[in-house]
Amino acid sequence: MKSKKVTLEVVVSVIAAILLFVTFYPFFMLLCGSLKDKMQLIENPWFFDLPMHFGNYRVAGSQILWPLFNSLVITAGGILLTLAISGLAAYAIAHSDMPGKSIIYFYIISLLMVPGFVILIPQFLVVRDMNLFNTYLGQILPPTANNVAMGVMLMTSFFKAIPSSITESAKVEGCGSVRLFGRIILPLSKPIMATVAITTGLNLWNNYMWPLIITNGQKVVPVIVAITRITASISEGDGPLFAGYVIAALPILVLFSFASKQFIEGITAGAVKG
């Protein structure tokens, strides 16, 4: 009986190890490949190979450092805007008795199930007609409409769970609505703010289709679009391209290592959007 259990544990461990290996190996090859020249990639794609061409990162960096900055601006701006707009709206819906609030809530979240590409063309024309083509704002605002809808949904249920005894006693002591929001609701809401920020941030950082159609040239192009356009000389081959992919993935990986719990909650929250 005991030996049976031990063999089972060995079998399960081996399967887990194989699955993890297959999952990770392509990424490992990408990392190795980012340090190779064309001949090395053809002759030995499987493992690190000498000499290592760190110059690939210089070639890639010169092409995507500015787009990396653009992505940072767009993502940070979008997160701040989403948190502010959806926080205020969710607070009003959860903690007031204003007439029509359920209609307002329904209005905000009901287009959430419409896939973005269905209104791609008219959305493009609206942004173009607002003179926001090829600007940061043009990349931030339309996705923010989506993220706000999701943020309002997540935050409203969170705010509703804050006991009204807390808010009532603050009101009795003469705390106005704005101060109540800033002093009591917000400090209690750090977890949900983190969740919405991460979901929003991942959406904005990873977005490809929208910046593809609403930007032009290098000026405001985000890194996810820029990595599809990296060029290298013939002898360099794809090495610099791979280096660019690694650079584009690094910022989120670094953030993840600092806040993995919040990231996992943020990724999971994305599912309720459906």
Partner 1 sequence: MQKKALRKRLWKNKIFYLFVLPALLIITIFKYYPFLTSIYQSGFRWNGANVHMFIGLENYKELMGDKAFWTSIFNIIKICIGTIVINLTFPFLAAEVVTNLKGARKQNFFKMGFIVPMVVPGMVVTLLWKWILAGDYGVLNMLLRAIGLESLTKPWLATSSTALWAILAINFPWIAGLPFLLYLAGKQSISGDLYEAAELEGAGTLQKIRYIDLPLLSSQRKLVVTYMLIQAFQMFDQPFVLTSGGPGMSTLTPALHIYQRAFNYNQFGYSAAIGVVLFLVVVCVTIVNQKLLKESENMG
Kindly identify the residues of this chain, within the stretch 3-22, that bind partner 1 according to CB under 8 A.
8-9, 12-13, 15-16, 19-20, 22
Q: Which stretch binds partner 1 (CB under 8 A): 50-58, 97-105, 162-170, 188-196?
A: 97-105
Rule CB under 8 A: is residue 65 a binding residue for partner 1?
no
Site residues (CB under 8 A) for partner 1, limited to 76-95: 84-86, 88-89, 91-93
Site residues (CB under 8 A) for partner 1, limited to 167-186: 177-178
14: burial class by Cβ within 10 Å (0-12, 13-18, 19+)? Answer: exposed
Rule CB under 8 A: is residue 114 a binding residue for partner 1?
yes
Q: Which stretch binds partner 1 (CB under 8 A): 62-70, 161-169, 188-196, 249-257?
A: 249-257
Helix (H, G, I), strand (E, B) or coil at 98: coil
Judged by CB, which is closer to partner 1: 158, or 205?
Answer: 205
How far is 184 from 189, CA to CA, in rounded Å?
9
Q: Do the Cβ atoms of 108 and 176 come closer than 8 Å?
A: no
Distances, alpha carbon 206 to alpha carbons 180, 199, 210, in Å: 35, 11, 10
108: burial class by Cβ within 10 Å (0-12, 13-18, 19+)? Answer: buried
Is omega for the bond preceding 122 within 30 degrees of 0, making it cis?
no
Shortest Å, Cβ 165 to partner 1: 20
Shortest Å, Cβ 42 to partner 1: 5
